[in-house]
């Protein structure tokens, strides 16, 4: 069994509790053990960087140091946390002065960053580490005929990482195909949902969410699949406001990829947190049930 340090991130404690539950269930079913980091702290999201970049890096450094104590690569299901931890690790490894400075601070908590563990997104772990062949082999209830829009969002792809093809990703589509679903060609799949602008600049965020929902609907998506708790909240919980603002009638369920994979593996929906949505996926999931 593969084991990883698991960093859920703040949203998964409540707002995205179904992501947490489905991540744990689906990972276990695929032979992946997720060991939650003891006493992890917030990664800084985007807002902390507006105030102080060095401190935001230190927040991630503390979590990375905790993962190093466990001696396991760290995996997170949140794209924002992933981006922050990935680049904190890169910056600290490339800049010994920065690492020394941050380590002086971390010593207050008896911790040290050495850069010995890697940072992975859970979606990446499923596709690259578990592998699509293995996932396909374990599928017992393929989501046959379900048209799913793979919504990448931003932080899982960008900014640029060495060797990454951030402008032509296929891994989300490939995963959906592996579980028997039909990935819809969704041109805006890597366009931003507005992130925290939903709080600080509502008109901008609603217009960004509207563009995404319209594009998914135009391509006959029945479900949107996400890999980020903030994208899920923006696309699902604000559909009512989008509908009122733009005169649309979207009722498009937005599920985490871990829920879709879990369903295909035969895990009961309630154990995946299905049923806690504001836009119920029950009608479309009924099509692939049984």
Partner 1 sequence: MARALTFEQEIANLFYVMDSNPVQACIQCGLCSGTCPAVAFMQHSPRAIIAMIRAGQKTAVLASNAYWACASCYACSVKCPQGIDVAAMMYGLKRYALWRNHYRRVPPGADFSRRFVRLITRYGRSYEPALAAPYLLRRGLRDLLDEVRTALGLLRRGRLPLLPRRIRRVDRLRRVIGQILPAGGLA
State yes or no: residue 104 binds partner 1 (CB under 8 A).
yes
**# residues contacting partner 1 (CB under 8 A):** 69
Count Cβ atoms below 10 Å from residue 3 Cβ, excluding itself.
14
- To which H or E segment does residue 21 belong? helix 17-29
Of the candidate residues 96, 140, 145, 199, the single one contacting partner 1 (CB under 8 A)? 199
The one among 32, 45, 148, 263 contacting partner 1 by CB under 8 A: 45
Stretch that binds partner 1, among 97-105, 128-136, 213-221, 251-259 (CB under 8 A): 97-105
Phi, psi of 120 (to 5 degrees): -130, 150
Q: Within 111-150, which residues bind partner 1 (CB under 8 A)?
A: none
By the rule CB under 8 A, 97 interacts with partner 1: no
Q: Least CB distance from residue 176 to partner 1, whole Å?
A: 23
Sequential DSSP letters for 94-151: H-HHHHHHHHHHHGGGT------S-EEEHHHIIIIIIIHHHHHHH-SS--TT-EEEE-
Closest C-alpha among 67, 189, 181, 190 to residue 119: 67
Residue 240 within binding range of partner 1, rule CB under 8 A: yes
Select from 27-35, 219-227, 237-245, 261-269 the region that touches partner 1 (CB under 8 A): 237-245
Contact residues for 91 (Cβ-Cβ < 8 A; gap 6+): 57, 98
Site membership for partner 1, residue 231 (CB under 8 A): no
Restricted to residues 48-87, the positions that interact with partner 1 (CB under 8 A) are: 48-55, 58-59, 62
The DSSP bridge partners found for residue 2 are 32
Residues in the chain: 290
First to last CA, the chain: 30
- Is the Cβ of residue 49 or residue 246 nearer to partner 1 in the bound state? 49
- What is the C-alpha radius of gyration for the chain, rounded to an integer number of angstroms? 19
* The pair of three-digit structure tokens given for residue 148, joined into one six-digit string: 């799913």
Apex 189 CA angle, 184 and 192, nearest 5? 155
Q: Which of 192, 261, 265, 274 binds partner 1 (CB under 8 A)?
A: 192
Please say which residue, 80 or 126, places its beta carbon nearer to partner 1: 80
Number of helices (H) and strands (E), helices first, in the chain? Answer: 14, 8
Stretch in the footprint of partner 1 (CB under 8 A) among 26-34, 40-48, 254-262, 281-289: 40-48
The CB-of-44 to partner 1 minimum distance in angstroms stands at: 7
- Sketch the per residue contact string, 144 through 183, with partner 1: x for CB under 8 A, - otherwise: ----------xx-xxxx-----xx----------------
| Pairwise CA distance, residues 252 & 213, whole Å | 8
Binding site for partner 1 (CB under 8 A): 10-11, 13-17, 39-42, 44-55, 58-59, 62, 101-102, 104-110, 154-155, 157-160, 166-167, 190-192, 194-197, 199-205, 207-208, 211, 237-238, 240-241, 244, 275-278
């Amino acid at each position: 069994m593969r084991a990883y340090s698991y960093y859920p991130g703040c949203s998964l404690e409540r707002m995205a509790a179904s992501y947490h539950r489905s991540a744990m269930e689906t990972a276990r079913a695929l032979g992946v053990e997720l060991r939650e980091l003891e006493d992890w702290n917030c990664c800084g999201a985007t807002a902390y960087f507006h105030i102080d970049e060095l401190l935001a890096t230190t927040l991630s450094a503390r979590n990375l140091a905790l993962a190093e104590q466990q001696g396991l690569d760290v995996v997170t299901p949140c794209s924002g946390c992933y981006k922050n931890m990935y680049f904190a690790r890169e910056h600290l490894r490339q800049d010994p002065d920065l690492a020394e400075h941050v380590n002086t601070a971390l010593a207050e908590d008896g911790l040290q960053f050495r850069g010995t563990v890697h940072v992975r997104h859970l979606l990446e772990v499923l596709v690259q580490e578990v592998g699509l062949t293995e996932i396909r082999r374990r599928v017992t209830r393929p989501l046959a005929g379900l048209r799913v829009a793979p919504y990448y969002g931003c932080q899982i792809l960008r900014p640029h990482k060495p060797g990454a093809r951030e402008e032509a990703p296929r891994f989300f589509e490939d995963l959906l195909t592996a579980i028997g679903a039909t990935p819809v060609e969704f041109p805006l799949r890597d366009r931003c949902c507005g992130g925290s602008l939903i709080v600080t600049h509502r008109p901008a965020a609603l217009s960004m969410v509207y563009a995404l929902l319209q594009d998914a609907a135009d391509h006959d998506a029945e479900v949107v699949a996400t890999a980020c708790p903030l994208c899920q909240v923006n696309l699902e919980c604000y559909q009512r406001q989008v509908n009122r603002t733009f005169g649309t009638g979207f009722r498009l369920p937005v599920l985490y990829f871990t829920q879709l994979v879990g369903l295909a593996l035969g895990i009961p929906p309630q154990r995946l947190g299905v049923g806690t949505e504001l836009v119920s996926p029950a009608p479309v999931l009924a099509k692939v049930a049984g």
